[in-house]
Structure 1
Amino acid sequence: MRFSPVFGVVAASGFLSVSNAEEPVILLSEDSAFHIEMLGGMGYAIGGGADISPILAAAKDVVPGDFQRFGDVFSKLAEETKAQALDPDNAYDPVNVRDTWFSTANYFRRADMFLHGNWSNPALKTFWDEQLYAFDQGIAALPVPGERIQIPADNFTVEAIWYSASPDNSTKRPTMIIGNGFDAAQEDIYHTLVAHTLARGWNALTYEGPGQPTVRRGQNLGFIHQWERVVTPAVDYLLENKISEIDTERLALFGNSLGGYLAARAAAFEPRIKAVMLNGGIFDAHEGYASQLPPDLAELYNSGQKEAFDEAALSILEDKNVSSQLRWGIEYGLWAFNVKSVYEFLQGTKPFTVEDIIDRIKVPVWVADFEFEGIFTGQPQKVKDALGDLGTLHIFNGSAGYHCQPGAYMEMNRAIFAWLHKTLG
């Protein structure tokens, strides 16, 4: 998840209720949801997935609260960048090829971000097909091409991408299994983590399970909480197919945002993982989501009045004074959990807690917290406390203090790999 708030706070203006001076960085939009989305997308530049000025130009053109406009601005940028990628003069150099295609894919993903309120919107398929195609051109031009794989699970298929750190497939290297969370794609995390993992001599496997972007689209499956059903088949695949390249004593699992719950859950049931990183410690996702409801909605929800709650929650989507975080949180949550009821979406998050399984984790765990966390405030500390001596808490402050460090990915990588070096050698 690129945003901390799923429901957010309804400000009087519908947008930011704080000044630039109160934020850790210059704002790219007075709409806080748009600001974070563009800041994160711009941060992909360090992994070859963006250029700075085009994002800043897009920031000038977006209109706070206008989801369609946001999509139009970024789809235009994506098409312009795609035209550059298709220019024969661009193809002389694999670095040109991959960076241009990677940027194209990034911009199409940004265009898709706020369009999930209408499940039949053809752009949801068009933009995603475009980003998949563009990203595949990018990974094909890597020094060691990335490999898309489909991993059979019990009643679904895990969508994954394998990245080798070296063409020498007889050298066993440390390997990281990397998963995103609520909304971001596995393609996103190439730029924020995988490129930097490869540069340090680690292999990487990214993956998506039910509820995550490509599996949700291709298999029509909403989120499940038993994430061991996703990660264990991925570990099986690696040990059966990539064993000559993997140092099994340095097999790490990384979970980003809601992935902080998902990875912890998987690690509780997967003993072959040797270290876990939770980029956002989540103790109880439902507690975080439900706590963001405005008081009147919270009263309806807690009283179990499903129909009245759904009617009130869905009516919010038509209120132009509602924050983009709240509107996006409802729309995307319904889509990702594959339900039409906001009540059912929230109820569906109840099993997303580590309370009853965290004592099953027997390996070192790095837990990230953020100065400007928002929805899961206090939960990373709670996860660390429950882990006892196995847990290490790292707090990101200042310009790196937004949820999952948008725009501060180099600092994120420095912290992650310093801990891995200390923990696994």
Structure 2
Amino acid sequence: MSLASSLFSHPHQAFSTGFYRNESFDYELRILLGHATYGASDTGEVLSALTDIGDKDYEGWYEGWFDLGSRIFEQAEASANAGHPRSASNAYLRAASYFGVAVNAVDGLSDDSVLVPTFRHHRQAWDRFVDTTQHLVERVRIPYEDTTMPGYFFRPPGEVRRPTLIMVNGSDGPISSMWVSGGAGALERGYNVLMFDGPGQQSMLFEHNVPFRHDWEAVITPVVDFLVDRPDVDASKLAMYGISQGGYWVPQALAFEHRIAAAIADPGVVDVSASWLKHIPRGMQNLLDEGKAEVFDRDMAMGMRASKDNGRLWRFRSRPYLTEGYYNTLAEVRKYRLEHVAGSITTPMLITDPEGEQFWPGQSSRLAELSGGPTTVVPFTAAEGANLHCQPMARRLTDQRMFDWLDEQLNL
């Protein structure tokens, strides 16, 4: 039975057969449904927004999430103006999630001029959540080279030194998704939480044109320097969590920065380029290996013209590298490898290993093999509702397993 016929014959099997035949739409939807766990979406809002959006309706996909974000933001403003900060905070957080999906949906449009304005809607909603939340939170600027990185430092009540979780985002997630992916769970357990935009991420990319870098230790060492000077941080109990491509950046940083007591890679990523190269024919990869940039770029351009979907995906994935040309972009991505540094890791690491990992299958186990420090590989399965990249619909289960492990590592 085909995926389509199975979906329509057995709608109750949407979890296994897919909510959308469009894999990108389906995965984004799963992420949003998982966000409801910590109040960053509402299931009915999410499902109702999909009513008229088809599998190839990229314009409708963008408009649906932007319109929903706008509507919920207006509700948040009304609650705030009426003196209901708790309701306002909840709605601002949901609006930030919906605008975050719209930001990533821009690459499906014929005109991407709405990218930065859409991002600013998202960040405005997130900042209004920060302004109205009951949690203690401080906006921070982390010194970084000749500039600063913007961040948010959340802490539980009480003037004591606490364990602190440094959260490393992935390649394209909005900062509001970090709330669901460990931030709220850490606060519940008495951790401080630092979220920030690093090079190539969110505001650093969209507003300051700062690209990704493979040597993430140059990012994390300033972050650690910033934290150890704070009177509310226990410098002996620093932990780090990386989601999606953060599963590369975290171990990369650990190979050089040894002040982290324990870390989590969700999932483990040894070679970022593997998720790119699997879509490129072997003959084209040979051109890349042989350094034939002009021929490679010519043939890639022909392929992109033949497929709008491929062109959309390339724009989405290549933007944070800020490189010119197909060859130069892939040459940069191929620097994101851990084989030559992973043996220098001494920090204990938990590595998630979800069934059906779409982007870096098998790399969690490979990272465990290469790491010079103790590792714990934790499988997640479809039977638990916890399959696919970063367990999008099982964030409570993910929190349970990673924080139980982290508490034990930090002797909490």
Could you state the TM-score of these two structures normalised by the residue count of structure 2?
A: 0.91
Instruction: Report the equivalent of 1:189.
Output: 178
Query: For residues 318 and 97 of structure 1, what CA distance do their matches in structure 2 show?
Result: 45
Q: Which residue of 2 aligns with 1:404?
A: 390
Structure 1 154/302 Cα, relative in aligned 2: closer, same or farther at 3 Å? Answer: same
- Aligned match of 2:240: 253
User: Judging changes above 3 Å, is the alpha-carbon distance between structure 1 residues 91 and 348 closer, same or farther for their aligned structure 2 residues?
Assistant: farther
**Is there any run of 5+ residues in structure 1 with no aligned partner, and where?**
1-12
The 10-residue stretch of structure 1 (327-336 or 21-30) with the greater mean CA deviation from structure 2: 21-30
Structure 1 match to 2:45: 54
| 1:222 CA displacement | 1.4
CA shift for structure 1 position 330: 1.0
Q: Does 1:176 align with 2:165?
A: yes
1:226 to 189, 204, 215: 215
Quote the residue 1:77 is aligned against: 68
For the 8 Å contact 1:275–1:364, the answer to whether it is kept is yes
Name the CA distance, whole Å, in 2 between partners of 1:225 and 1:114: 25
Give the structure 2 partner of residue 355 of structure 1: 339
* Greater mean alpha carbon deviation, residues 96-105 or residues 26-35: 26-35
Say which is worse superposed, 197-206 or 113-122, in terms of deviation.
Answer: 113-122
Moved more, 82-91 or 141-150: 82-91
Provide the residue aligned with 1:4 in structure 2. none
CA distance 1:97–1:125, change in 2 (3 Å): same
Aligned mates of 1:157, 1:299 — CA distance in 2: 40
2:264 paired with 1:280: no
Contact 1:330 1:342 in 2 (8 A): no
> CA 1:299/1:360 → structure 2, altered by over 3 Å: closer, same or farther?
closer
Verify the 8 A CA contact 1:28 1:59 in the aligned structure 2: no
Query: Is structure 2 residue 410 aligned with structure 1 residue 421?
Result: no
Q: For residues 286 and 87 of structure 1, what CA distance do their matches in structure 2 show?
A: 46
Match of 1:110 in 2: 101
Does 2:203 match 1:214? yes
Q: Distance in 2 between matches of 1:24 and 1:362?
A: 39
Residue matched to 1:336 = 320
| Aligned-pair CA distance for 1:259 | 0.5
The aligned length equals 404
- Structure 1 residue 393, shift from structure 2 partner: 0.5
Residue 308 of structure 2 corresponds to residue 308 of structure 1:
no
Structure 2, unmatched stretches of 5+, are none
Q: What is the TM-score normalised by the length of structure 1?
A: 0.88
Q: How far apart, CA to CA, are the structure 1 residues paired with 2:195 and 2:378?
A: 23
CA distance in 2, matches of 1:111, 1:149: 26
Structure 2 Cα separation of the partners of residues 194 and 315 of structure 1: 43
The change in CA–CA distance for 1:85 and 1:420 in structure 2 (over 3 A counts) is same
User: Shift of residue 92 of structure 1?
Assistant: 3.2
Deviations, residues 195-226 of structure 1 (Å, cap 9, x unaligned): 11111111100122111121111221211111
CA-atom RMSD in angstroms: 2.5
Q: Cα deviations across residues 256-283 of structure 1 (Å, max 9, x unaligned)?
A: 1110110111111112110010001111
Q: For 1:403, what is the secondary structure of its paired residue?
A: coil
What amino acid sits opposite 2:243 in the alignment? Answer: N
* SS in structure 2 at match of 1:60: coil
Cα gap change, 1:115/1:295 in structure 2, threshold over 3 Å: closer, same or farther?
farther
Separation in 1 of the partners of 2:156 and 2:338? 33
Q: Offset of 1:164 from its aligned partner? A: 0.9
Contact 2:79 2:88 in 1 (8 A): no
- Structure 1, 222-231 or 339-348: larger mean CA deviation: 339-348
Between the aligned partners of 2:259 and 2:130, the Cα distance in structure 1 is 28
The alpha carbon displacement at 1:299 in A equals: 4.7
Residues 18 and 403 from structure 1, CA distance in 2 versus in 1: closer, same or farther, beyond 3 angstroms?
farther
One-letter amino acid matched to 2:149:
V
Q: 1:10 matched to which residue of 2? A: none
Q: Distance in 2 between matches of 1:300 and 1:119?
A: 30
Give the aligned residue type for 1:333.
R
